[in-house]
Amino acid sequence: MTAPGDRAAALDGNAMAGDLREIFAVDVTSARFMCAGCTHTDAVATLMLWHQAPGLVARCPNCDDVVMRVVRAPDRVYLDLRGSVRLEVPLEGS
Amino acid sequence: MARTAVSGRLIWRAATVAEARWESPTARTLVLDVPDWPGHLPGQHVDVRLTAEDGYSAQRSYSIASAWPEPGGKVELTVQRLDDGEVSPYLTDTVQVGDQVELRGPVGGWFVWRDKQPAPVLLLGGGSGVVPLMAMVRARALARTKQPFRLIYSVRTPEDLLYADELRRRVRDDAGLDVHYVYTRKTPDNWPSPPKRIDVAALNTYGWPPDFAPDCFVCGPTTFVETAADILVALGHDPRRIRTERFGGTS
Amino acid sequence: MGIISRGFGGRRRESVPGLPPGQYLTHDFPVLSAGPTPRIPLDRWRFTVTTETGDQKSWNWTEFQALPADDVTVDIHCVTKWSKLGTTWRGVSLDTLLADVESAADYTMVHSFGGYTTNVPMEDLLDGKAWVAYKFDGEDLEPEHGGPARLLIPHLYFWKSAKWVNGVQLMTEDDPGFWEAAGYHMYGDPWREQRYQGD
Ligand SMILES: Cc1cc2nc3c(=O)[nH]c(=O)nc-3n(C[C@H](O)[C@H](O)[C@H](O)COP(=O)(O)OP(=O)(O)OC[C@H]3O[C@@H](n4cnc5c(N)ncnc54)[C@H](O)[C@@H]3O)c2cc1C
Ligand SMILES: [Zn+2]
């Protein structure tokens, strides 16, 4: 029930890099997610990102389910990962 | 109250505008002095944060246009003005040499090209989406590597071209680099085809065939990226070799 | 606060007295969205109240349009810090929709097409405080702003005014919705600046 073009408002996971790098020591956008809804797996950078909202909402490019949510409060960041079954994080230099 | 710093955590730092130059009537390159810049890979970006007198602040991402290392340790961004935008008109028209903005980066480890990647590289840029691709072109020259590079650059009119002179010079001097232009609103005089958006015919003609197995980087307005990436897949390119970065908006 | 960027004004906004703390006045109607905009054909639209025992009561678009409606003029406050004053809406009061419902529930979860949810205490839906609105400024509510119909609950931050609303589930215990589960406040009173958990 979504029309083509409705995704034009969206960015992608690349745009989350700064907010995630402020909490993690590694770049999470190069990690692979597995979608809890459809088991699709790919780099976090390929998630569809809605940023014109009270937080960042990253959805699976395959099924549109929410995979990650990032909410920034003045003194903390909330990261909701329930839409991803796991994250596979590559370690530089290994 | 003092807080314990999380080690390795990226923080905001002040960047000073050292130099600014127009790339087109509506786009400007800012050369920034960022103390202790750790270096970056082509394709990475920074987040820029602006704060008004009353504390209101706005944050946007901008790709790094320059390659690293840079002798003066500077970092360049190229910003395209959107007339009704909140941040871009400030960066193109208001900020002056000597002014400071806050910056967080470099960030993003996926939409990057590493000079050790042996494959040929196909770059598809729409509008300001050419900026991180230009960083790749510059990094290739700096590393003196030989992978064939091809840039297909979609732009509204000849006046909107970024880096026009430099691209012309590099096509002449950087062996193995070529560039094709797609004009979407107005072409130069005597251009062989009328203005059009990037389409199957353009990528079929100018792109490389899938069995050449190029690493593809697609960047620009969201609608451009979706169209161009879909065409690459339809033409038979391996989706795992296609990396995309969406800037938002429509082309 | 970071360093001031000389000459940066930002989006047109005004700090005026009488707004909730930390809010700016805007004259636009910014569109916030957390996903693709659902397009709901009216013949597939339905609004359902589900009680804590599983009893359901529902209306299709024609039945819903036949219910008595109110015209209201209210101020709205978004947690992203803009406020908009004197907005005019037409909608069906939740008092009407919940009138004949047998329930002892103190809490509700509001549901939308597209999967969005937000929790609202029962008492905040009643006594003329909340509507299912289908007209804004005299016009049919556009999909970008939540049409065909959205919840309108102006005394709470606007994320509680769920777009594309399709039902209310009554609950005996409070549960977090989409944003509440991700760090936003369970109640969200703009006058007490309840933006995030713990505020
Ligand atoms: C990872 C990343 C890298 C980026 N790199 C660059 C870069 O190198 N150079 C550059 O100029 N921009 C870049 N952008 C885009 C940049 O972040 C801003 O979105 C852009 O400058 C517009 O900001 P604004 O505040 O001026 O406009 P806003 O006030 O945010 O928007 C004004 C209007 O323009 C529309 N709009 C928003 N973004 C775009 C867009 N990209 N194209 C067309 N319409 C749009 C909006 O929907 C709105 O209607 C990048 C974005 C991302 C996510
Ligand atoms: Zn999925």
Residue A94: band (very low, low, confident or very high) from pLDDT cuts 50, 70, 90? very low
Q: What mean pLDDT comes out for the span C67-80?
A: 97
pLDDT tens, position by position, C13-50: 777 888 999 999 998 888 888 998 999 999 999 999 99
CA-CA distance, C172 to C122, in Å (whole number)? 10
- The one-letter code for the residue type at B118 is P
Pairing of strands B215-220, B121-126: parallel
Q: For residue C197, give both structure tokens.
A: 């958990």
- The one-letter code for the residue type at C56 is Q
Give the per-residue pLDDT at A53: 86
Contact flag C179-A54 (C-beta cutoff 8 Å): yes
Q: Please tell me the distance between residue A71's alpha carbon and the centre of ligand 1 in angstroms.
A: 21
Residues B207, B209, B210, B214: is their CA dihedral positive or negative? negative
- Mean pLDDT, chain C, as a whole number? 95
CA angle B225, A66, B45 (to 5 degrees): 45
- A-C contacts (CB, under 8 Å): 63
| Best residue in A11, A14, A48 for a mutation probing chain B (most B CBs within 10 Å) | A14
**What is the residue range of C126's domain?**
43-71+91-187
CB within 8 Å of B46: residues ≥ 6 apart: A18, B61, B62, B64, B75, B77, B103, B104, B105, B106, B107
Tell me the ligand closest to B224's alpha carbon: 1
Helix (H) or strand (E) run with residue A86 in it? strand A84-88
Q: What mean pLDDT comes out for the span A70-85?
A: 92
**Range with the poorest average pLDDT among C16-25, C132-141, C150-159, C176-185:** C16-25
Range B121-246 classified under CATH 3.40.50.80: yes
Residue B2: band (very low, low, confident or very high) from pLDDT cuts 50, 70, 90? very low
pLDDT tens, position by position, B105-116: 999 999 999 999
Q: What is the interface pTM, i.e. ipTM, of the complex?
A: 0.93
Are B245 and B155 in contact, with CB atoms under 8 Å apart?
A: no
**Range with the poorest average pLDDT among A82-91, B40-49, B99-108, C155-164:** A82-91
What b-and-e string marks burial along A48-74, b requiring 16 or more CB atoms within 10 Å of the CB?
bbbbbbbbbbbbbbeebbbbbbbbbee
Residue A8: band (very low, low, confident or very high) from pLDDT cuts 50, 70, 90? low
- The one-letter code for the residue type at B221 is P
Pairing of strands B215-220, B177-183: unpaired
pTM summary value: 0.93
Where does residue C87 rank: exposed (0-12), middle (13-18), buried (19+ CB within 10 A)?
middle
Are B111 and B244 in contact, with CB atoms under 8 Å apart?
A: yes
Longest dimension (CA), chain C: 60
Residue A5 near chain C (CB below 8 Å) = no
Closest Cα in chain B, distance from residue C24 (Å): 9
**Range with the poorest average pLDDT among B155-159, C8-12, C23-27:** C8-12
Residue B109 near chain A (CB below 8 Å) = yes
Share of residues in chain C with pLDDT > 90 (%): 85
> Which chains reach chain B with 3 or more Cβ–Cβ distances below 8 angstroms?
A, C
Give the per-residue pLDDT at A7: 58
Helix axes B164-173, B130-143, angle to 10 degrees: 30
C135 in a domain, yes or no?
yes
**Is 60 exceeded by the pLDDT of residue B5?**
no
Give the per-residue pLDDT at A1: 44
Mutating to test ligand 1, I would choose from B29, B247, B251 the residue with most ligand atoms within 8 A of its C-beta, which is B247
Q: What number of H helices and E strands is found in chain A?
A: 1, 8
Where do the domains of chain B lie? 2-107, 121-246
Here the CATH number for the domain that contains residue C135 is: 3.90.420.10
C80 in a domain, yes or no?
no
Residue B7 near chain A (CB below 8 Å) = yes
C143 in a domain, yes or no?
yes
| Best residue in A2, A51, A76, A81 for a mutation probing chain C (most C CBs within 10 Å) | A2
What phi, psi does C186 have (nearest 5°)?
A: -65, -30
CATH of B2-107, one of 2.40.30.10, 2.60.120.10, 3.40.50.2300, 3.40.190.10: 2.40.30.10
